[in-house]
Amino acid sequence: MKLSSVCWFVLAVVPAIAAQSKTESAVSPEGMAHLAGYTADTSGIERSWEKKFQQGIAPGNIRENMRRLSARPHHVGSPYDKDNAEWILTKFKEWGFEARIETFNVLFPTPKERLLELVEPAKFRAKLQEPALAVDPTSNQTTEQLPTYNAYSADGDVTAPLVYVNHGNREDYEQLDRLGISVKGAIVIARYGQGWRGIKPKVAAEHGAIGCIIYTDPKADGFFEGDDYPAGGWRPRDGVQRGSVMDTDYPGDPLTPGVGATADAKRLSIHEAKTITKIPVLPISYADALPLLSALKGPVAPESWRGALNITYHIGPGPARVHLKVVSNWDIKPIYDVIATLRGADDGQWVIRGNHHDAWVNGADDPISGQAAMLEEARMLGELHRQGWTPKRTIIYCAWDGEEPGLLGSVEWVETHLNELRQHAVAYINSDSNERGYFFPGGTQDLQGFVSGVARDVEDPETHLSVFQRSHLFSIAKAKDAEERKDLRKRKDLVVTALGDGSDYTAFQDFAGIPTLSIDFGGEEDGDQYHSIYDDFYWYTHFIDTDFVYGRALAQTGGTSIMRLADADLLPYDYSAQADAIAKYEEELEKLLKDKQEEFAERNLQLQEGVFAALTDPRRPSVPPPVETVPPYMNFAPMKNAIDSLKKSSERYSKIIADWQAKGSLPLSTHGFESVNAELLKISRLFLNEKGLPERPWFKNQIYAPGAYTGYGAKPIAAVREYMDEKKWEQADAQIPQVAQVIENVAKGIGKAADTLEKAIAQAH
Amino acid sequence: MKLSSVCWFVLAVVPAIAAQSKTESAVSPEGMAHLAGYTADTSGIERSWEKKFQQGIAPGNIRENMRRLSARPHHVGSPYDKDNAEWILTKFKEWGFEARIETFNVLFPTPKERLLELVEPAKFRAKLQEPALAVDPTSNQTTEQLPTYNAYSADGDVTAPLVYVNHGNREDYEQLDRLGISVKGAIVIARYGQGWRGIKPKVAAEHGAIGCIIYTDPKADGFFEGDDYPAGGWRPRDGVQRGSVMDTDYPGDPLTPGVGATADAKRLSIHEAKTITKIPVLPISYADALPLLSALKGPVAPESWRGALNITYHIGPGPARVHLKVVSNWDIKPIYDVIATLRGADDGQWVIRGNHHDAWVNGADDPISGQAAMLEEARMLGELHRQGWTPKRTIIYCAWDGEEPGLLGSVEWVETHLNELRQHAVAYINSDSNERGYFFPGGTQDLQGFVSGVARDVEDPETHLSVFQRSHLFSIAKAKDAEERKDLRKRKDLVVTALGDGSDYTAFQDFAGIPTLSIDFGGEEDGDQYHSIYDDFYWYTHFIDTDFVYGRALAQTGGTSIMRLADADLLPYDYSAQADAIAKYEEELEKLLKDKQEEFAERNLQLQEGVFAALTDPRRPSVPPPVETVPPYMNFAPMKNAIDSLKKSSERYSKIIADWQAKGSLPLSTHGFESVNAELLKISRLFLNEKGLPERPWFKNQIYAPGAYTGYGAKPIAAVREYMDEKKWEQADAQIPQVAQVIENVAKGIGKAADTLEKAIAQAH
């Protein structure tokens, strides 16, 4: 489901300079940099295989993969979804992988009835249909297309006054409170953007709304951004964003939380499933939204709420009244994960790569742009294998089904194979949609140095700089001030940003404690048709990565990463980078507390001074905000002490590695390497707490997690931070010791790995 | 012409807390605050007359004044313009003023031919006409309305490709350079807003454009802001902003720079007049702009350039080609200033009040909302006079003609009466359009304490707070950060912001060196019809100050100010506030230099690093900016030393006043007061340098001036600052000593006044 490219771009993160990382590589006597985790010998061999790999990636193959996979609609439960899975299976086998399909049975609702009409002050019935376009050859596959809808919407039939709620986030309702407007008993209309779409009906229902409409304002991805389709690549007036509105309690099949949705799994009833919305929801185009929004009166929306339609945006409530009816077929459907293994010399450690294959409709961009590139990677790895290369570790390529409804394929697979994965998994590398432009990885920062090294070795197809360098220079250009530019110019690595739950990495990172990367290129889009029938081969090849050179760059990045991880003598984790990132997350918590203390103290002072009363305009009545209790101080000391331990042990580990590299990265004994790797493999699991987050037990990772009210967006150290967001200061404070304990455990784990490494180096020399 | 209310609002300035100013008033033994510049006795008498004055101001009279004056179009040269002047004259006389009309003969071009058509890729002819509306009874006075046009546009007949240039400021052309787009030989289309409209054709011509179209985007004052007329108060699709595009070399009649345009004045030929544009210009509605903008291709405009039309904003050039023809009747027209005097006990000092009476069409808001209130002030002062009040000083009320074309009435009058004014004028208080909301004065800060005191004594009609307190609390609410809020909470006064040349205060402040205030209420507008036929009585009384309670507040503020200045024993100037403001302007110059040094050094570094090359997108080609010479350090020391002198002498003067007040504000001898006032009167003239600004000799004031490329907006210390804006660092540096000398002269003038005051106090006790 991945964030649409436009939204994605605002999360774009900060990369780093081209200096060599001390922990990542060292210069050999001959002047050639060793790869991190490699000896002088193995580094040279690895580089020559990687070079062969990169040279073999063919944009034409990626194009043909996309043509095949996006030729017909292939959502969960559709014939072409299964057909694609079988074709992918055949290909993996053809390329020399051991491959199989794993099937799960998941709840996947599809539309039975959809109705939206304006009943007052005028009559209008929404079309709820994306028209076929003559130039676009797959847009007319009407019988196979899923209608426009939001999966996991509650069934309902409601008629009520309409209220415009901007993006429908919690802050928007605070603004409505200031205007004295309630949505109780109303149907809300929210615009897409600013967070996971499932948050909109969730927050609306929490405020008493009985229905929710979501429309795509042309300001987000329509004519405001550029010429619309088919003249340009941007969403046309009738374009609709489908999508899941599953709640954020847990991802995966709503009926089998925490366990694989196998044939014989114990299932909740639909009634018991917590992740289905409380009120009916329906997505619409702006052409359908325009008569509704135009019929609203009441206050003019604040400036930041206004979109690009040529109307005055009013909030309501009413006089517009709308009738909304949503009924689904609540069926169990099979999903088909294709799992392909290239067995390594040592089968005890697994390097995993994944990208989903299901789409909402034809899905050329989402997800086939990533899937097509990933398959080309796999083909070329098979080719190298035929030429004599065998990876040290086992490589597993996964083509997930059911990502769009709620990460179903990856979550059910991870839940099913949890114990094996915790025992064997070295890393999981995810991709999804891929466009054109810059490389900004997300993930766990133990892979920050590693992925930066890979990015130095992949060429940007437009500028012929390394993708590292191009992203680094982009960050300098976009830095917010001189201080940020100064920091960037000193950095040796790209910044790897924390991930929430936007794609199939979620279960690996948040449930299984596996080091994770999310990779893609973007930022130079000439359009967006996210979750529309127009996200298809014609559109993609006219407006996005038209010659598939960024598909090639993605395959080169993904495949090089997989090879380099699979072949390393020592697993190339960089704990110092991760310790720095965690220290920053902790500082953010302290800053959040301070900001809230100041904000509420200031607000209370202004209430005393009469500021809000002085600003009341009798023609635009407003309600002063409530007095807020100023947050008490919290005890961050345990976490800060734990982070100090973490920094010390990770710096110690880094120093041992650096010294080993400085002395020529001489080989350890096989047992020596194995004993260190065995310790390293355990470390990321130590971030888990089996009890999970306080109010979301599925999410085990105590550092990396999505927000309950952001969904896509990460909320690092969520156990503490989410309570702070809820203004539950005592509960937040009470979570600090257990998070600190987790960090202490990681510090100890790193210390143990350092001991083992020291011993192994001493024995070798 | 005053900034449209929307634009005006962004300049809204920062007021201050309700604590009593030590230099402004003192508490008498009975606990009653003395007015600044008054003794205990005279303060009490003054307060009782002011109370009577304020109670006598009747909103119904202001309404009737507006109905009469806006009943028909009354632009320069129209029959109703003269009729209004004669009616105003009669009224002043009726109220007991000595009144006369002073006539000047000015160049005032009116439309002869106007043509705008799209000739490629399709044909479209612009309507150039605001339609009458059935509900609006004066909108159909078609034969008397001035057609939509820009006065002082050059004549021309041009056909060329079209380029969209955003607001058409210099920064916009830098952006065009980055995109590799030239306007040489093109016709530009700019949107209204962000500075004086005359800057748009000026900068366009400097870049080689041969024609200029200016349109009103609905984002500025149309449906984006609120419901449009007549459903709401905002500019409708066919609404056009007329207006002068006179260049900024000097205001007033283009043919008589520096001297009054009397019948026998020596005149330039039209050909010699520097303030007429170099290329033809025409303003249009967005309905007329839409087909033109829609026909542009080329790069998509940067996000900040996009308006609220439902199109993708492209820049061009072309394929749109347009044909623009503008021909004017270049006639000399008479203008009628009404000058009304209420003779004071001492005729040697004059307190002057003004507001223009001419409009572009009916002008209910601009300027009649201010004029109608000012006339009600004058009526009530006449009434007080009948009841026995005679001001200590002479009061002069001025109803200016010809403000809209270029401040003609006030500039020609000041040029004609320059010597008398420099000898006698205590202060000039201007108003113009008046709306609803907050009071934010502009002017010279020697009146900052004074106007803050007046604002404490006028009641806001909505909240019943003082207008001072309401503005103060508004500033706290809108402050950008905690530091600004802290500063505001410590302030004792409103902030008086420096004025550029937006209305009739210009000649008084910039040419004659007279302390100046500009007063109005605004910020709660429910619409804007700036310079349109719809700015009329029907519109104003439905959407703006519908019950004229802010008209009453304006009359109360203006009249109380005039009375309090006219009756003061000691002129209530506050030099400390002015010294603080000038110190701040100097700091801004130093910051500007530092910012430019850093900006250019950073840019040059990024050019070296290859940042711009790395960000090139082959589908959106861009041109790296040029290498810039990093500015050298400048010697601000002379100015800083002078400001230190100014601070010392003004603090000394303030302290003497404070001590006098602390001891009960006992009366000085008549000669004592007169001798101090005579010294005080000279001080503001010392800001003048008769040579004027380096490239604009008409502007004599070395602290207060508009920018050559802002027009409306002030550029304090323009002699230095404008060269800095031009990157002429050496010339800027060379100006510092003469500005410093001016400041030293002022410091000495204040010192002399302090000596005189000390002596007078000593003699009295």
Question: Dihedral angle at the C-alpha atoms of B543, B549, B551, B553, nearest 10 degrees?
Answer: -140
At B550 the pLDDT is 98
Residues 6+ apart with CB under 8 A from B656: B754, B757, B758, B761
At A287 the pLDDT is 98
In the numeric block, which tokens belong to residue A260?
């694989």
Residue in chain A lying closest to B437 (CA): A617
In the numeric block, which tokens belong to residue A119?
């009943």
Q: How many CB pairs under 8 A join A and B?
A: 104
Cα A532 from Cα A243, distance rounded (Å): 10
User: B213 forms bridges with which residues in the sheet?
Assistant: B189, B282
Residue A269, number of CB atoms within 10 A of its CB: 7
**Residue ranges in A77-164 assigned as alpha helix (H):** 79-94
- C-beta separation of A425 from A350 below 8 A: yes
Amino acid letter, B481: D
Radius of gyration of chain A (CA): 26
Quick: pLDDT tens for B301-326. 999 999 999 999 999 998 999 999 99
The pLDDT-based confidence of B20 (bands split at 50, 70, 90) is very low
Amino acid letter, B258: G
Amino acid letter, A313: Y
- C-beta separation of A763 from A662 below 8 A: no
Quick: pLDDT tens for B379-408. 999 999 999 999 999 999 999 999 999 999
Quick: pLDDT tens for A605-641. 999 999 999 999 999 999 999 999 999 999 999 999 9
The answer regarding whether domain B110-331 maps to CATH 3.40.640.10 reads no
- B463 CB neighbours in chain A (<8 A) are 613-614, 616
Please tell me the pTM assigned to this model: 0.94
User: A325 forms bridges with which residues in the sheet?
Assistant: A115, A157
Cα B515 from Cα B509, distance rounded (Å): 6
Measured in angstroms, the CA of A463 and the nearest CA of chain B are apart by 6
**CA neighbor of B341 nearest in space, from B304, B382, B292, B281:** B382
Report how far Cα A316 is from the mean position of its chain's Cα atoms: 34
Quick: pLDDT tens for A197-229. 999 999 999 999 999 999 999 999 999 999 999
Mean pLDDT of chain B: 94
Domain limits of chain A? Answer: 5-20+60-106+333-574, 109-324, 577-764
**CA neighbor of A707 nearest in space, from A218, A198, A209:** A198
Top residue of A10, A17, A221, A224 to mutate, by most chain B CBs within 10 Å, is A224
In the numeric block, which tokens belong to residue B72?
């028909």
Cα A657 from Cα A655, distance rounded (Å): 5
At B500 the pLDDT is 84
CATH class of A109-324: alpha beta
Q: Please give the C-alpha separations between residue B161 and each of A227, A385, A537, B115, in angstroms, as whole numbers.
A: 21, 60, 36, 16
Quick: pLDDT tens for A163-178. 999 999 999 999 999 9
Quick: pLDDT tens for B680-725. 999 999 999 999 999 999 999 999 999 988 877 899 999 999 999 9
Cα A586 from Cα A716, distance rounded (Å): 9
Residues 6+ apart with CB under 8 A from B140: B132
At A32 the pLDDT is 52
Measured in angstroms, the CA of B225 and the nearest CA of chain A are apart by 7
The pLDDT-based confidence of A712 (bands split at 50, 70, 90) is confident
Top residue of B310, B311, B619 to mutate, by most chain A CBs within 10 Å, is B310
Query: 3-state class of B455 per DSSP?
Result: helix
Compare CB distances from B310 to A227, A308, A470 and report the shortest one's residue. Answer: A308
Query: 3-state class of B746 per DSSP?
Result: helix
In the numeric block, which tokens belong to residue B729?
């660092």
- Does residue A1 carry a pLDDT above 60? no
Query: 3-state class of A112 per DSSP?
Result: strand
Kindly list the residues of chain B whose beta carbon comes within 8 Å of any beta carbon in chain A. Answer: 218, 223-228, 232, 234, 300, 306, 308-312, 437, 462-463, 465, 469-470, 473-474, 476-477, 482, 485, 524, 526, 598, 602, 606, 609-620
Cα A26 from Cα A35, distance rounded (Å): 7
Cα A378 from Cα A520, distance rounded (Å): 17
**CA neighbor of B193 nearest in space, from B176, B172, B208, B178:** B172
- Does residue A532 carry a pLDDT above 60? yes
Query: 3-state class of A122 per DSSP?
Result: coil
Question: Dihedral angle at the C-alpha atoms of B573, B578, B579, B585, nearest 10 degrees?
Answer: -170
In the numeric block, which tokens belong to residue B30?
């009975």
CA torsion sign, A717 to A720 to A726 to A727?
negative
User: B110 forms bridges with which residues in the sheet?
Assistant: B329
- B226 CB neighbours in chain A (<8 A) are 300, 312
- C-beta separation of B405 from B498 below 8 A: no
At A711 the pLDDT is 72
- A616 CB neighbours in chain B (<8 A) are 462-463
Cα A667 from Cα A679, distance rounded (Å): 18
The angle that helices B549-567 and B40-56 make with each other, rounded to 10 degrees, is 150
Q: Which fold has domain B5-106+333-571?
A: Aminopeptidase (3.40.630)
Cα B258 from Cα B700, distance rounded (Å): 11
User: B108 forms bridges with which residues in the sheet?
Assistant: B331
Amino acid letter, A729: W
Quick: pLDDT tens for A357-393. 999 999 999 999 999 999 999 999 999 999 999 999 9
Cα A466 from Cα B351, distance rounded (Å): 72
Return the half-sphere exposure (C-beta side, CA atoms, 13 A cut-off) of residue A585.
28
Q: Please give the C-alpha separations between residue B287 and each of A3, A561, B231, B290, in angstroms, as whole numbers.
A: 37, 56, 18, 5
Radius of gyration of chain B (CA): 26
Quick: pLDDT tens for B525-560. 999 999 999 999 999 999 999 999 999 999 999 999
- Does residue A714 carry a pLDDT above 70? yes
Cβ within 8 Å, pair A300-B226: yes
Cα A17 from Cα A488, distance rounded (Å): 7
In the numeric block, which tokens belong to residue B300?
């998509």
- Helix, strand, coil abundance in chain A, percent, nearest 5: 40, 15, 40
Quick: pLDDT tens for A23-67. 344 444 444 578 999 999 999 999 999 999 999 999 999 999 999
Cα B464 from Cα B484, distance rounded (Å): 26
Amino acid letter, A153: S
Percentage of chain B surpassing pLDDT 70? 96
Q: Give DSSP secondary structure letters for A735-748.
A: HHHHHHHHHHHHHH
- DSSP class of residue A495 equals P
At A34 the pLDDT is 86
- Does residue A679 carry a pLDDT above 50? yes
The pLDDT-based confidence of B32 (bands split at 50, 70, 90) is low
Mean pLDDT of chain A: 94
- C-beta separation of A290 from A191 below 8 A: no
Measured in angstroms, the CA of B651 and the nearest CA of chain A are apart by 31
Residue in chain A lying closest to B601 (CA): A482
Residues 6+ apart with CB under 8 A from B690: B700
Cα B445 from Cα A91, distance rounded (Å): 80
With b meaning 16 or more CB within 10 Å and e meaning fewer, what string describes B534-549?
bbbbbbbbbbbbeebb
The angle that helices B575-609 and B448-456 make with each other, rounded to 10 degrees, is 110
- C-beta separation of A254 from A246 below 8 A: yes
- The enclosing H or E element of A44 equals helix A40-56
- C-beta separation of A532 from A361 below 8 A: yes
Q: Do domains B5-106+333-571 and B577-764 have the same CATH topology?
A: no
- DSSP class of residue B696 equals B
Report how far Cα A15 is from the mean position of its chain's Cα atoms: 18
Q: Which fold has domain A577-764?
A: Transcription Elongation Factor S-II; Chain A (1.20.930)
Quick: pLDDT tens for B245-254. 999 999 999 9
- C-beta separation of A190 from A212 below 8 A: yes
At B765 the pLDDT is 72
Measured in angstroms, the CA of A305 and the nearest CA of chain B are apart by 11
- A219 CB neighbours in chain B (<8 A) are none
What's the burial of A287, exposed, middle or buried (CB within 10 Å: 0-12/13-18/19+)? Answer: middle
Cα A593 from Cα A242, distance rounded (Å): 37
- Helix, strand, coil abundance in chain B, percent, nearest 5: 40, 15, 40
**Residue ranges in A70-226 assigned as alpha helix (H):** 79-94, 170-178, 199-206, 218-221
At A22 the pLDDT is 36
Query: 3-state class of B498 per DSSP?
Result: coil
At B33 the pLDDT is 73
Q: Which fold has domain A5-20+60-106+333-574?
A: Aminopeptidase (3.40.630)
Q: In degrees, to the nearest 5, what angle opens at C-alpha B263 toward C-alphas B257 and B266? A: 40
Compare CB distances from B300 to A226, A462, A598 and report the shortest one's residue. Answer: A226
Cα B213 from Cα B222, distance rounded (Å): 18
**CA neighbor of A242 nearest in space, from A325, A366, A126:** A366
